Amino acid sequence: MFGKIPKMLHPPVLPVKKIVCTFAPEMYISKAKKYRDQGDGTAIAYDYYRLTKSYIDKDGKTKHRSVLCLGELPGFDKDERNRLAAMLTTMIEDGQSVMCDNKKLYEEAMSQYVKYRSSKYAQENDPRLIAERKVREEEERKKAVAVKLETLTQHEARIIGCENLCNSTMRMLDIRKYLTSRGWKRDHINFALMQIIARAIYPYSELKTVRYLRENTALAEMFGIPKEKITKDALYESAKRLWDEHHGLEDWLHDRVCSMFGIEEKILLFDITNSYFEGKMENSELCQYGRSKEKRDDCRIVVLAAVVNTEGLLVRTMIYEGNRHDSTTVEEVVGTLAKTTTQEAKRVVVMDAGFYSKPNVNWLKANGFDYITVLPSGDSKFESTSSEIINHTDKKGQQIRLQMGKVDMDGESVKALMVDSDAKGAKERSMYEQACKRYEEGLEAIKKGYSYQGRNQET
């Protein structure tokens, strides 16, 4: 009655995997409110725009990520901003150039896209830029040549950094031009310039300078001087020739620097220092025993007198015997500047107390120099001309008191400023107490010297 039911073939049943639905990321322009400080305690609000991308993460949640900071976008309305977002989306996602009839909009899109390509986000997330970077790295890797470090050797390595910097400075100062005008030969000029630079970088003895010039620096090559000609005797001779040009070269450098930096000199600072020699220096007329500022009274010294301006530039230097008194150097050193000083360009010489003497003061006034110096307390009596006392804090945070007054010098009334410093007073009291202590200890030592075998001897 019933026919056979045909056998049905069923496809195999496969397990169904979870399907995650995603969509292409969409970019749009988001707006944030920011505030700009006006500098007067107030702030104004302004709109700041970003190109933002929407995407779905692995958990199926919609997220937003800032792709590019666009700035304030002045002059763009809402419709133009939306078109800008669409253009940037096309350029970033598809890597295609866009066409636009709005020149302002097109230029802004290209500018923002260039900024996008250099951003950290693009370098880490844009697959096209990542692929481009890998291609470049692969090309650079193919060009690279492997070198075994243990096979490297060097021959006559030379340093040139500081040397080149100093040589550039020498050219700016035009020292070569001055020496040429003085009749120097080219070889002597090159040797002198090489020595000046070497001493500036490596200030040691002639013997060490020879080693430095031959083994370390490229100065010899820079000035075309054969190394066999670099000896300590050659350095001595070059230094002597430079010393003969001492004052002229000093004036040349001073004028060049003042001209280069527009320095107007009104105040000159005058002081001296000294340097000691550990050798005997018995045949030297300059090296004499004197008061060493470095407490090396066992060594012979020479005195260096220097005049500098307020910018720290040397105006005049001279070297004297080690036993030369400070006050005897003023007229000779400052006197070389008198011929270049006019009434319209009057300068003030500032000196320490050691240079004060009535002959020096009279000479300065006679030659048109104003002066500021420290007056010994016992030389003249101070008389106040104002009851006002000005309190001032110096650079060390110490309190000082200032009062205007005058002193009488050879019947002439001279302006004076009383400087009262607690710190200076404490220092002088300490020095006085130490001197008294040493004096008393000396007396005590003398007293003990008169004692012999427990018996006191009468003096």
Share of the chain above pLDDT 90, in %: 28
Does residue 325 have a pLDDT over 60?
Answer: yes
CA–CA distance, 219 with 213 (Å, rounded to integer): 7
The pLDDT, as a whole number, for residue 7 is 44
pLDDT band at 103 (very low <50, low <70, confident <90, very high): confident
**Cβ atoms 188, 238 nearer than 8 A:** yes
The pLDDT, as a whole number, for residue 86 is 86
**Cβ atoms 318, 286 nearer than 8 A:** no
Can you name the residues that pair with 320 across neighbouring β-strands? 303
Instruction: Give tens-digit pLDDT for 283-305.
Output: 898 999 998 989 898 999 999 99
Tell me if the pTM is above 0.75: no
**Cβ atoms 295, 328 nearer than 8 A:** no
The pLDDT, as a whole number, for residue 371 is 87
Instruction: Give tens-digit pLDDT for 212-231.
Output: 999 999 999 999 999 999 99
pLDDT band at 377 (very low <50, low <70, confident <90, very high): low
Q: Return the ∠ at Cα 96 (arms to 94 and 102), rounded to 5°.
A: 120
**Cβ atoms 28, 88 nearer than 8 A:** no
Determine phi and psi for 287, rounding to 5 degrees: -75, 110
Task: Please choose, from the candidates 308, 327, 305, 309, the residue with its C-alpha nearest in 3D space to the C-alpha of residue 317.
Answer: 305
Region label for 122, one of left (φ > 0), alpha (ψ between -120 and 50) or beta (otherwise)? alpha
* Region 410-427 average pLDDT: 82
User: For the purposes of burial, counting CB atoms within 10 Å of the CB of 232, is it exposed (0-12), middle (13-18) or buried (19 or more)?
Assistant: middle
* Region 23-52 average pLDDT: 82
Position with higher pLDDT, 63 vs 346: 63
* Region 239-247 average pLDDT: 93
* Region 124-132 average pLDDT: 86
Q: How far is CA 203 from CA 57, 190, 244, 389, in A?
A: 68, 19, 21, 49
* Region 420-437 average pLDDT: 86
The pLDDT, as a whole number, for residue 252 is 93
Q: Return the ∠ at Cα 356 (arms to 351 and 362), rounded to 5°.
A: 100
Does residue 124 have a pLDDT over 90?
Answer: no
Q: Domain residues of the chain, as ranges?
A: 26-134, 161-244, 265-374, 385-405+417-451
CATH number of 265-374: 3.30.420.10
Position with higher pLDDT, 459 vs 389: 389
> Within a 13 Å sphere around the CA of 267, how many CA atoms are in the beta-carbon half?
8
Does residue 323 have a pLDDT over 80?
Answer: yes
Can you name the residues that pair with 418 across neighbouring β-strands? 403
CA–CA distance, 68 with 64 (Å, rounded to integer): 12
* Region 68-94 average pLDDT: 86
The pLDDT, as a whole number, for residue 341 is 47
Does residue 97 have a pLDDT over 80?
Answer: no
The pLDDT, as a whole number, for residue 454 is 54
Does residue 346 have a pLDDT over 80?
Answer: no
pLDDT band at 3 (very low <50, low <70, confident <90, very high): very low
The pLDDT, as a whole number, for residue 14 is 42
The pLDDT, as a whole number, for residue 249 is 93
